[in-house]
Chain A
C-alpha cells in the first residue's frame, strides 16, 4: 500500500513541470557537477597543498604558500605581462581587421556569397595545424616568409626569425590573428545585416558622405557587438595562447614567448609541481572569470 502511494506521488511529481524539468536536466547536471564544478573546487583544494609528484605520497597542507610563491616569482609576472600583450594585440588587431573585412564583404560584388563562406576557413583549422603551418612559413632555412621577402628584395639573405625574442612574440601573435579574424568578421557581418537600410538612405538624402555615415550610423550600432567581441575574444586568446605558443616556439627563445598558460603547463606537467601549478591555474581562471562576468552582464543587458 505504502509503496503504491510513493509510486503515485513520484509519478505525480514527474509529470509536473518541475519534475519533468529536473528529469531532463539531471544527466546534464551530473556531467557539469562531475567534470566541471567538482574539479574546479578540487583544484582549489590542491592549490592549498604541497603536491610534488616526485613524492606522490606526501600531501601536506601549506595554506596560501603556493600563491605567495607565485606572486613572488618574477617569471610569473613576466609570463602574465606576455599574456596581456598577446591577448591585447591579437584581440585588437583581429577585431579591427575583422571590421574592415566585414565592411568590404557587406558591399555588392560578384562572388560575395562565396567569399563570405570562404572567410570561415582559418577558424576551422585546429590551433595545432595553424601553429605548425605558421612555424613552417616562418622557418629560417626554407620558410615561405623568407622566400617571399627575398624575392621582393626586402631581405638579402634568409633570416632565422624565431630566434629573435621580439620578433618571435609578434610572429606568434600574427598566427593567432590570422586564425581569429574570421570570428570577428562573422559576428560583425551578422550585426551589419540587422542595420535597416532606410537609415543609410535617409543619411544620404541629408548629404552625409560615406565616412560620416560609417561614423554616425554603422559604428554606434556595431558598438555592442564589438564590446562583446572584445570580451569573448580575450577569454579565447588567454585560453588558446597555450596551443599556439606550444606549437611555434615552446616559450622560446629563452622565455621570450612564455605566456602564463604555457608556464602553468611546464610547472605542472614538466616539473610535476601540482600544488604550485594548481595555484597558477586558479589565477588564470580568475582572470578569465572576470571577463566572463562582464560577458554575461553584456549578454543579459541585451536580452532585457
Chain B
C-alpha cells in the first residue's frame, strides 16, 4: 500500500519539477535571447507595438555592418573592430602574464615553508577584496604623468591588480591536490626544485592553469570601471564602446544589440564550454569536498 501511495505522489511531483525547470530555463535565457532577437530583427519589426517576438524576416545585416561598415555605420564599424582588438590584446596579455607569476607564487605558498608565509598570504587574500575605486585615483594620476593613459600597457598594469590575486587564489587550490611525493621523487632523481616544478608539477596542474586562465580572461574581458577611466580613444575596450553605443549612435537599437551580442560571445562561449573550470574558479576555497 505504502509503495502504491508513493508512486501516486511521484507523478505530480515530477510534473511540478518540470514546470519549475521550464520557468528557470525561461528566466535564464529570455533576456539575453531578446537581445539576440533584437540584433537580427529588421528595425520596423522591432519598433512596432508590441514588438514581433519572433521576427518574420530575420536578417544578419547589422552583423555585416558592424564588421565591414555600411553606408551609415562606417565609423561605428571602425570603432568596433578597434575595441575588439584592444579587448583581445589586454585581456589576453594580462591573463598570460598573471598566470606565469601567479602560479609561481601560489606554488611557494602551498609547498614551501618560509618566514612570513602567513602574513603574506593574508595580505594577498585581502588585496583581492580591494575595490578598483580605492586605487583608481593614484593610478590615474601616475599614468597621466607617465603618459600611460589610453594605452594598452596602462590598462594591462591596472588589470593585473585584480587578476593576479584571483589567479593565486585559484591556483593554490590546484597545487594542494598534487601529492608532494611526486615532486620528491623527481628531486631524488636529480631534478632541482625549479626543474621538478617545470618538468613534473607543471604538466599536472595544466587543468588548473586552464581554469584560472579562462576565469581570469572572462573577468578581464568584462571589466568596465577602470577601462572607462583609464582609456579615452585608442585603447578603448569593448565594454567602454558598448556603453557609448546607446548614446553616440542615437537610437539604433539593432546596432546596439548586435554590439552587445558580439561582446558577450567570447565570455559566454568560454563559460559554457569550460563551465566546470568556472565553477571551480568561483567556488575556489569556499566550498570544500
Residues of A within 8 A of B (CB): 15, 17-18, 20-22, 24-25, 27-29, 31-32, 35-40, 42-43, 46, 101, 104-105, 107, 109, 111, 115-129, 132-137, 139, 141-142, 144, 146-148, 150-151, 158, 178, 182-183, 186-187, 190-191, 194, 225, 228, 232, 235, 238-239, 242-243, 246-247, 261, 264-265, 268-269, 274, 277-278, 281-282, 284-285, 288-289, 291-292, 295-296, 299, 302-303
Contact = CB atoms under 8 A, between A and B. Distances in A.
22 contacts: A15-B193, A25-B105, A27-B104, A35-B158, A36-B127, A36-B130, A39-B139, A105-B21, A109-B17, A120-B278, A124-B272, A133-B34, A133-B35, A136-B257, A158-B49, A182-B28, A235-B129, A238-B131, A239-B132, A261-B131, A281-B134, A288-B130
Contact of A121 (B38, B158, B221, B272): B272
A142 B43 CA distance: 11
B73 to A, nearest CB: 17
B242 A285 contact: no
- SS of B interface (majority): helix
B31 A133 contact: yes
Contacts of B24: 101, 104-105, 115, 119
B191 interface: no
A121 B271 contact: yes
Interface in B113-134: 113-115, 117, 120, 122-127, 129-134
A43 B161 CA distance: 15
B190 interface: no
A199 to B, nearest CB: 14
B107 interface: yes
A123 B229 CA distance: 23
A32 B25 contact: no
B3 interface: no
B283 interface: yes
A105 B270 CA distance: 22
Contacts of B157: 35
Nearest to B50: A147
Given A118-B28, A122-B32, A302 B126 contact: no
Interface stretch (B59-67, B204-212, B260-268): B260-268
B243 A128 contact: yes
7 smallest A-B Cβ distances: which pairs?
A147-B50, A126-B222, A292-B129, A124-B271, A39-B135, A39-B138, A28-B105
B134 A39 contact: yes
Given A18-B114, A117-B272, A274-B137, 6 more contacts: A122-B31, A128-B242, A129-B242, A141-B47, A142-B253, A146-B50
A239 B28 contact: no
Given A21-B117, A31-B101, A186 B279 contact: yes
Contacts of A17: 112-114
B34 to A, nearest CB: 5
B90 interface: no
Contacts of B107: 24
Contacts of B288: 194, 302
A32 B28 contact: no
Nearest to B30: A144
Interface of B: 14, 17-18, 20-21, 24-25, 27-29, 31-32, 34-35, 38, 46-47, 49-51, 53, 101-102, 104-105, 107-109, 112-115, 117, 120, 122-127, 129-139, 141-142, 157-158, 160-161, 164-165, 168, 192-194, 218, 221-225, 228-229, 238-240, 242-243, 245-246, 253, 256-257, 260, 263-264, 267-268, 270-272, 275, 278-279, 282-283, 285-289
Contacts of A133: 31-32, 34-35, 260
A206 B135 CA distance: 57
B127 A282 contact: no
A28 B133 contact: no
A57 B122 CA distance: 39
A191 B161 CA distance: 30
Contact of B256 (A29, A40, A104, A132): A132
Contact of B112 (A21, A109, A247, A268): A21
B80 to A, nearest CB: 14
